[in-house]
Structure 1
Amino acid sequence: MKTSLILGLLLTSSLHCIADTLPLSPEESAGKRLYREGVSSSGEPIMARVGAAGMLLPATSLPCANCHGTDGLGRPEGGVRPPELSWSRLTSTYGQRQINGRNYPAYTEGTLARAIQEGRDPGNNHLDPAMPRFVLSMKDQRNLTAYLKRLADERDPGLTPDSLHVGTLLPSQGALAEEGATVAAVLNGSVARINKAGGIHGRQLRLTILDPGPDRISAERALDQLIDQEQVFALIAPLAPALDTQLVSRLEQAGIPLIGPLSLQGTAQSSRQIFEPMPGAREQLIALADYASASLRVLQGPTLITYTEDPGQRLAAQTLSQYLQDHAWQNVSLKAYDSAQDELPLGSRSVFYLGCGSDFSHLAERLQTAGQVPYLFAMSNQVAGDLLQVPNGFSRRVFLSYPFVPSDWTLAGRLALTQLREQQGLGGQHAVLQVGAFSSMLLLSDGMKQAGRDASREKLINALEGLHDFDTGLTPRLSFGPGRRLGLNGAHIVTVDLPDQRFYLVAPYKPITATP
């Protein structure tokens, strides 16, 4: 009898596991899209009534998952605490008790439809006014209900009982091939270190790296492959500038978290899905500008902002120009820089440069040849490799922003990165990218540990959002929060004695006060 009981339990357990992994039916898949994106299976727009006045808005702007989370567990925000939407909770025979203390019976399919469409619970009480009332067809309502019945059992892609699959996009050819290889080495080394230590909650990490190719179309295709075919759980430290704004919409559509220093590439990527350990171009340039206005007599100008002809650099230059003009800088001008052209505006007291390193030293040489030695401002991650080619006449007139400096490195942090470099055959090249990728893996590891064994993408996002004063051992401490997705919001400012090749910290890291 005991044998029969054990076999029965094993059989029941096996059937349960099989049921958990069954693919969604067409109706459930349609309900999932409605839940996450606010899109009807018919292709017709879905509207929702909002507030006491019942103002109509498209459901795509406020889908269920925005407040209840892709896992249905609810995400408190702005004083509103959306309830959990698991079917077992909704239909509990013990009834429900709202956070405000109101009691009401268990939900049925009918009363759930009324709650979604009319904003009333099974006790006929009005739901919180923040809850939209959706205008749904009978078919859309059935699809949504069908998906809610599966919501609690659906495991996010890329997560199995014994593995966690993450992915990234890194170029293996072209202008960024060396940077891509550097980041790949750091990520592979970090994955090996985590797996050697037993993984995360018993799960071994698996990393898939795809080449984004030469342009936006190839990058979008590679991203789709990671999401749809490889089905990664999260993206980690990608280097694919061509994606630009398409990345955000694709991540939000799929509900995939991304951890990595995207804004270093120039264009800020603002999304709830994205967590960046490094300050972006905007933050570093503002830190440089704030230092210059406080410590150098430069407000009267003229000030030149020059940038290589690239959409991301151009946007960053325009953002900086507006910031300078809003903060009493006078005679500010912008110009795309072409090293092959002789034309160059002269007479500037300050020059901010955005672009690749070789053009930076060439710009300095041309200025010196013309008898001009203005202050030069740039981001270290763009120009540090070419810095010592700058003419000595600019000694202590070059100011660079650094997300971190050697004094930020703890003994443990230095040892961990040094060991990884030795194992992967890395030197000190592209140090900012190395530390950015290394810190991204630390954030992923800590976030997944906090998310627990029963992790989900939504739990990872919530865990990362709750990190404050996180110690990477290599940077100032990182902090995130609701609406805050940059772990560092400023930079150290360093000047250079070019003949002696010595660097001097002139302003330590502090968060900038400017808001986006």
Structure 2
Amino acid sequence: MGPGVPKDAEAVSHTRTSAWSRGRQHAALAWVLFVSGCASAGLAQAQGAQPVATRPDAAAQARQIALGQRLYREGIGVSGQALQAQGAAQAVLSGNAVACAACHRRSGYGSSEGALNIRPVTAVALFEEASEGVRSPRIKAQLGTRLRPPYTPALLARAIRNGVDAGGAPLDPVMPRYALSDEDLAAVVAYLGTLSARPSPGVDDEEIHFATVIQPGVPELQRKAMLEVMAAFFKDKSAGAGRNLEDRRDAGTMRMYRSYRKWVLHVWALTGPRETWRAQLDAFYLQQPVFALVGGLGVSSWQPIHTFCEEKEIPSVFAQVNLPVVTGSNHYNFYFSRGLTLEAEVLVKFLRDSGVGGPLVQVYRRDEAGLASAQAMRDALPKGAELEDVVLDGAGDEGFWRKLAARRAGSVVLWLNQEDLARVVLPGEGFAVPVYLSFDHLNGKPPPNPGALGSQARMIYPTDLPPRHAARLLRTTIWLHNKGIPVVDEAVQIGTQFALTVLSDAVGHVMDSFSRDLVAERIEHVVATTSIPSLYPNVSLAPGQRFAAKGAAIVELVPGEKPQMKALSGWIVP
């Protein structure tokens, strides 16, 4: 409302806006019942038969929607067989290649590539009249605003089978023509009636809820470092959402006005053995559903949280973990990198490209991280490569290190932490061969005494070297200073602010379309362009990718009062 409008009129306007939004949702949801009960009748009518009024029970309706979802996402028909369709240039396509989600994405909001724009197929986009957003009365009078009438089941069947839209215009040849049965069509139409028809859980008219997950065993310093950054960020977001209605409306379009929400953070701190974590996550979610998970800290496998997010279809945005899930299905879990698996692959590629020969000796503990690194190295090495495993049990005394240094080896890899390396005791100049260390096992910090390992101590390094590193991260450093937050764990604090900024950018892009799938798709776009840097100098995501940093470098640790690092390689992407 502008100046001079009574406050109670503003309240009425806000109520009408909320009601309008809900009305769109209810109208779209009404299609679930309509297309489920009448799709077969509508298709039959389109073929010249008399319609038969039906209304399936809830169980049958849910099954039909589930079958439609499988068809839409995987290209598998009601019969369980792969779909077939005719693409451009009469090409015959089948299965995943013709899954609707391949182009229209899981959200249904479409996509674009070059000059090609894939139209949205959400419930609102299909089953409401499409009109042009024209403000000028003169242009409205000359051109009109109607683009096409709303789809009915029969019109949608015509579009899918024959490539003709609701207004009778031909669809682009890039849209396949599907040979669907009536059962397939009824199922996919029923599912489309639900697609992004209402906001995902965790959002109401005033608030949008997020959670961060912390595994047991995370050091208190890291926990504090992450939560301080989150508290400052959420305070800023909530301050922005607190603007009065007039300020909001003046900020931009009506959709922007409707998109404002107060950001609310929930800390899900897990306790006890891993077998109990899923029940804890379910209890947290039952108490307050959240729109997405953001950040998070873990010292063991992220698998329970990963599985929870996949099953609940909740985006998880850049948890800081060394053991992400690197195999199996992943639609909703975004990671900075493949962690210890990536380190092993980078090192193997460096050794191979450098022509380094001789047996490789890897040292590790029988804990989760050590076993994962050792297995990743075995998997990365080519068949027939010489590899010897040495397990460190106990504290690792001088005798252990003497025997290790005396082994016949071309290179040694120490999958060990700071505490283990602080105990290294070797006579003379240490190892006579290159010794490689893990950035992740050392929590991103060089060991305090690299000279004890010899003159060829090296590290797998996923970020850039000083002074470029400090210059690139200056914006985050200034932000922390302005918020009165001391730098106590650079990697955690930088990673947390990056995750929050990416999530904020993605949510901002979807405006009032609070779809988790759409946010996940927007994250793919904004990762490489967000204004806040990550610890990793090169991050990007193509559609379907879930690991933002895909490489690392090898650096040499130069001994001295202040150990220096010298690059031995360029950026290595295995």
Percent identity at matched positions?
Answer: 18
Q: Which amino acid aligns with 1:141?
A: A
Q: What is the deviation of 1:8?
A: 10
2:314 aligned partner: 256
Q: What is the deviation of 1:511?
A: 3.8
Pick aligned residue for 1:187 from 207, 219, 230: 230
In 2, Cα distance between equivalents of 1:133 and 1:227: 41
**Cα 1:217–1:20 shift into 2, 3 Å:** farther
In 2, Cα distance between equivalents of 1:115 and 1:459: 24
1:99 aligned partner: none
1:222 aligned partner: 280
Q: Which amino acid aligns with 2:260?
A: G
**Cα 1:395–1:355 shift into 2, 3 Å:** closer
1:85 aligned partner: 121
Pick aligned residue for 2:498 from 435, 439, 452: 439
Whether the aligned pair in 2 keeps the contact of 1:71 and 1:151 (CA below 8 Å) is: yes
Whether the aligned pair in 1 keeps the contact of 2:302 and 2:323 (CA below 8 Å) is: no
Pick aligned residue for 1:485 from 533, 541, 546: 546
Does 1:109 find its partner at 2:168? Answer: no
Pick aligned residue for 1:209 from 244, 251, 267: 267
In 2, Cα distance between equivalents of 1:81 and 1:462: 15
1:513 aligned partner: 573
Q: RMSD of the alignment, in Å?
A: 4.8
Whether the aligned pair in 2 keeps the contact of 1:277 and 1:440 (CA below 8 Å) is: no
In 1, Cα distance between equivalents of 2:380 and 2:280: 36
1:380 aligned partner: 439
Whether the aligned pair in 2 keeps the contact of 1:360 and 1:383 (CA below 8 Å) is: no
**Cα 1:131–1:434 shift into 2, 3 Å:** farther
Q: Which amino acid aligns with 1:491?
A: A
- 1:362-408 deviation digits (Å, cap 9, x = unpaired): 4x33x669975543222233225885454743254322224244432
2:419 aligned partner: 358
- 1:432-459 deviation digits (Å, cap 9, x = unpaired): 2332222211211222233334453233
2:204 aligned partner: 160
State the SS of the aligned residue for 1:403: coil
2:37 aligned partner: none
**Cα 1:121–1:210 shift into 2, 3 Å:** same
State the SS of the aligned residue for 1:472: coil
2:389 aligned partner: 334
- My pick for the range that moved more, 433-442 or 28-37, is 28-37
Q: Which amino acid aligns with 2:83?
A: R
State the SS of the aligned residue for 1:306: strand
Q: Which amino acid aligns with 1:222?
A: Q
Whether the aligned pair in 1 keeps the contact of 2:525 and 2:541 (CA below 8 Å) is: yes
**Cα 1:258–1:14 shift into 2, 3 Å:** closer
1:428 aligned partner: 488
Structure 2: state its 5+ residue gaps: 1-5, 34-57, 73-77, 132-146, 243-255
Whether the aligned pair in 2 keeps the contact of 1:351 and 1:374 (CA below 8 Å) is: yes
**Cα 1:320–1:141 shift into 2, 3 Å:** same
- My pick for the range that moved more, 174-183 or 148-157, is 174-183
Q: What is the deviation of 1:65?
A: 4.8
Structure 1: state its 5+ residue gaps: 96-102
**Cα 1:175–1:338 shift into 2, 3 Å:** farther
- 1:305-327 deviation digits (Å, cap 9, x = unpaired): 2333245543443333343437x
In 1, Cα distance between equivalents of 2:494 and 2:547: 15
Whether the aligned pair in 2 keeps the contact of 1:291 and 1:507 (CA below 8 Å) is: no
Whether the aligned pair in 2 keeps the contact of 1:395 and 1:497 (CA below 8 Å) is: no
1:500 aligned partner: 561
TM-score using structure 2 length = 0.67
1:98 aligned partner: none
2:84 aligned partner: 50
State the SS of the aligned residue for 1:382: coil
In 1, Cα distance between equivalents of 2:232 and 2:205: 23
1:68 aligned partner: 104
State the SS of the aligned residue for 1:348: coil
1:383-402 matches, within 5 Å, as: 383=442, 388=447, 390=449, 392-400=451-459, 401-402=461-462
State the SS of the aligned residue for 1:500: coil
**Cα 1:444–1:386 shift into 2, 3 Å:** closer
Whether the aligned pair in 2 keeps the contact of 1:168 and 1:209 (CA below 8 Å) is: yes
Q: What is the deviation of 1:154?
A: 0.7
Number of aligned positions between the proteins = 485
1:265 aligned partner: 323
Structure whose alpha-carbon radius of gyration is higher: 2
Whether the aligned pair in 2 keeps the contact of 1:168 and 1:238 (CA below 8 Å) is: yes
2:186 aligned partner: 141
Q: Which amino acid aligns with 1:353?
A: L
- 1:413-435 deviation digits (Å, cap 9, x = unpaired): 22113445x43xx5533x32332
Q: Which amino acid aligns with 2:365?
A: T
TM-score using structure 1 length = 0.73
